[in-house]
Amino acid sequence: MDSREAWQLDGEDLKGEVLDLVRVRHELQSRMVLLIVEMFAREVLGGKGFRSIAQWLHGSTNLEIGECSLLVGLARLLMLEPMVGDAFHRADVDKARGILLDLASKNIADCDAVRAAIRRIEKQYGKREDGVPVGEDSERNEFYASKGLYGRVTVKGDLDAVNGARLITLLSSLSAPTPEKDGVKDTRTPALRRADGFCELLRRYERAGLGPIEGGVKPHITVTASAKDMTDLQALKDLLPSTEELGFAWTDWVGPISIDTARMLACDCTVTRILLDENGVPLDCGKEARTATVPQRRALAVRDGGCAFPGCGTPSGWCDAHHIVHWNDGGPTDLDNLILLCGHHHRTMHHTEWRVEIGPDRKSVFYPPMSVDPYQQPIGGNSPPTAA
């Protein structure tokens, strides 16, 4: 740096020193961001009483809290996006640093904006032979689905930008808040809404039959349960003296599930009867019986208008056809024994003491458990005004 006073410098010297100082400032900020990244890695402020590194930096210097937050935000992004760090610190990146530091001076420095800045840098310094950008390289994709102790499946993945955008687009409408019919706000958390949307996406794909053939059949969930477990009628149980009552059903991929859930799945699926001998060897395999036909589902959509549970606004296309008297208990597959329920309320009917009937006017009537209403007063189910 020039040791002369500012007033002693001519115009060219003034411009030259300003540019030199900008370069030094870039180097110092680069160093500071590296140190903040290391502070994150070591959790050096643990137990010191500061809510964040930005708060500590503001309290320890004369920097504004906004500038501190932006520097810390940039450090976080350098940790999350290796390409950002490479572009920020490698040689001959004056313009690259300028782009990134200019971004850090904005009101908001989010991940998308920093990635856009990196694309600008890559276009300026990169070469076509460098290959597919990291964010768009599908060869780096990973997806894990692991089964836990209770049969729950933990999903974790890392997708390229294109397939990630495809997933988010498909989930967008399925995970939007859905207010109840009476205007009550959707109380589900964003994470639960996304999970519900993802499950609905799987259900629609399965129902559409778009999956490839595997083992001679289209993708489906196979649930195996004994006839004794699947009925509540003692008379039917007495007809099966040699059949063991296990208290659970079984699926190929996640193992045992509760009988209530098995009955829920049996409400709207294809059921195959298989007779076994005393050693568990199949003797006879009956024909498949589909519980609700397409015309029946259309009629249910007209009668119920969607999920029939009081106050629910789930459309009919997202609902299952629930047997009021279970199919395995001799309940017929006709309109007076079927009702549309969304996944949440279908589980409610099978796992709690809620009951439902079809009244004389052929509309649904629900009875809450005593824990909800000690008097168990009947509640009329949903019904569109056009339903007869």
pLDDT in tens, 88-103: 555 445 555 555 656 5
Whether the Cβ atoms of residue 301 and residue 383 lie closer than 8 Å to each other: no
Apex 307 CA angle, 329 and 312, nearest 5: 130
**Short-list 321, 302, 304, 300, CA closest to 312:** 304
**pLDDT over 70 (residue 110):** no
Write the DSSP string, 306-374: S--STT----GGG-EEEESS-GGGT--SSGGGEEEE-HHHHHHHHHSS-EEEE-TTS-EEEE--TTT-T
**pLDDT over 90 (residue 368):** yes
What's 8's DSSP letter? G
What is the value of pTM for the model shown? 0.48
Gap between the Cα atoms of 98 and 237, Å rounded: 78
| Cβ atoms within 10 Å of 281's Cβ, excluding its own | 8
Q: What is the pLDDT of residue 92?
A: 47
Gap between the Cα atoms of 243 and 327, Å rounded: 19
Band the pLDDT of 181: cuts 50, 70, 90. low
Tell me the one-letter amino acid at 15.
K
Name the more confident of 13 and 276: 13
Mean pLDDT, all residues of the chain? 76
Name which of 9-13, 44-48, 94-98, 376-380 the model is least confident about: 94-98
Whether the Cβ atoms of residue 258 and residue 249 lie closer than 8 Å to each other: yes
Within 13 Å of residue 23, how many CA atoms lie on the same side as its CB? 11
Gap between the Cα atoms of 384 and 163, Å rounded: 39
φ/ψ of residue 250, rounded to 5: -135, 135
Q: Give the pLDDT mean for 216-231.
A: 68
**pLDDT over 70 (residue 5):** yes
φ/ψ of residue 158, rounded to 5: -145, 110
Whether the Cβ atoms of residue 308 and residue 341 lie closer than 8 Å to each other: yes
Write the DSSP string, 101-164: HHHHTSS---HHHHHHHHHHHHHHH--GGG-S-GGG-GGG-EEEEEE-TTS-EEEEEE--HHHH
Gap between the Cα atoms of 257 and 150, Å rounded: 9
**pLDDT over 60 (residue 87):** no
Gap between the Cα atoms of 388 and 384, Å rounded: 9
For residue 186, give Cα distances in angstroms to 101, 180, 205, 307, 313.
41, 7, 25, 16, 11
Name the more confident of 369 and 181: 369
With a pLDDT cut of 90, the percent of the chain lying above it is 6
| Cβ atoms within 10 Å of 278's Cβ, excluding its own | 8
Q: What is the pLDDT of residue 117?
A: 66
**pLDDT over 80 (residue 164):** yes
Gap between the Cα atoms of 95 and 351, Å rounded: 62
Apex 139 CA angle, 138 and 145, nearest 5: 85
What's 4's DSSP letter? S
Q: What angle, 0 to 180 degrees and rounded to 10, lies between the N-to-C axes of helices 11-42 and 65-80? A: 70
